[in-house]
Amino acid sequence: MVQKTLDYVKKPIIRTEYVRTSAYPGLVGMFEGRNILVTGGTRGIGLAAAKAFHVCGGTVIVTGRSPKKLREIKESFASDRFFAMEWDISDICGQEKKMEELDRIINGGVDVLVNNAGANRNEHGETAASWDEVSEMEWDHIVNTNLKATYFLIQKFAKKWVEVFPDRERHVVNVASSSGFEPAVLPYGISKWGVVALTEGFGRKLAPYGITVNGVAPGPTSTTMATKRDDSEDLSYPEIPRQCYGVPEEIANTILFLASDYGKNIVGEVVRSDGGFSLTVTGGQ
């Protein structure tokens, strides 16, 4: 009887409309007059965040590397509050130029920076299975995209905000990962440790200037990165306490909350949104 009950509890969870809600009703209108830059916003978590900010009144700029995908996304929004920019954020030398291009697109500068673009494979879509197979090329690609780009974007935007537009409140939300809290020997996990560390560090350093830096740490989320489709129907993942993948919209909602007035008192925090995944990895019984 007890086993039967447990089997019932462990039934795979199939997605519901509820988890696909793209923005908390309480946040609607909260981003009016604010400019939000979402790196890597052409699919997955970044696209869900872009949609949610847009629904909440914001002017949104997404970046990505595929001109075709960017064109399609721009067309699908069909809005004068939505822009799509070709911008490989791992190209650190090109950042200044891209920021100038951005200034020509939007008025008043960026208010919210979402460092979302990320990579967990090398440029050919492959990844080392263990630490003794990691190549320098894979390391550079992953660490440059996830960590180096995030660091230098925060540095450049924060300098500008402090020097040029000092009187506005700004937010940075970094998309880390639950793997940023686990022992790491592969570049992805190591890069996300770095993202957690710089979120705490910049959180403390920049708060006195009205710049609030926080992060979200997703667990397995149904996107291309996790070899799922963004709109996958089967979200079953029995090893996670919640027993299913998260969906991009759930992570997006955490991003919006942290970038909103409701998140003002949260500083240098990386909020886990992982269905309890990290509790199992660290051995919680």
Ligand X SMILES: NC(=O)c1ccc[n+]([C@@H]2O[C@H](COP(=O)([O-])OP(=O)(O)OC[C@H]3O[C@@H](n4cnc5c(N)ncnc54)[C@H](OP(=O)(O)O)[C@@H]3O)[C@@H](O)[C@H]2O)c1
Nearer of residues 89 and 211 to ligand X, judged by Cβ: 89
Residue 63 binds to ligand X (criterion: CB under 6 A): yes
Min CB(35)–ligand X separation in Å: 18
Contact of 174 with 255, CB cutoff 8 Å: no
- The angle at the Cα of 244, spanning 239 to 246, to the nearest 5 degrees, equals 125
* Other beta carbons within 10 Å of 240: 21
H-type alpha helices, the chain? 2-9, 44-55, 67-77, 95-105, 136-143, 149-163, 187-206, 248-259, 277-281
- Identify residues 249-278 at the interface with ligand X (CB under 6 A): none
Residue 65 binds to ligand X (criterion: CB under 6 A): yes
Residue 58 binds to ligand X (criterion: CB under 6 A): no
Cα–Cα distance measured from residue 134 to residue 139, given in angstroms and rounded to the nearest whole number: 7
- Identify residues 82-111 at the interface with ligand X (CB under 6 A): 87-90
Min CB(253)–ligand X separation in Å: 14
Of 30, 45, 50, 270, the one binding ligand X by CB under 6 A: 45
Among 52-60, 112-120, 158-166, 196-204, the segment contacting ligand X (CB under 6 A)? 112-120
Q: Is the dihedral of CA 29, 33, 34, 39 positive or negative?
A: positive
Residue 66 binds to ligand X (criterion: CB under 6 A): yes
* Other beta carbons within 10 Å of 81: 17
Residue 215 binds to ligand X (criterion: CB under 6 A): no
Min CB(118)–ligand X separation in Å: 2
Residue 177 binds to ligand X (criterion: CB under 6 A): yes
Min CB(228)–ligand X separation in Å: 8
Residue 218 binds to ligand X (criterion: CB under 6 A): yes
Residue 42 binds to ligand X (criterion: CB under 6 A): yes
Residue 43 binds to ligand X (criterion: CB under 6 A): yes
Q: Which tokens in the block code for residue 277? A: 């995944």
* Other beta carbons within 10 Å of 132: 7
**Best CA proximity match to 102, nearest among 120, 118, 121, 89:** 89
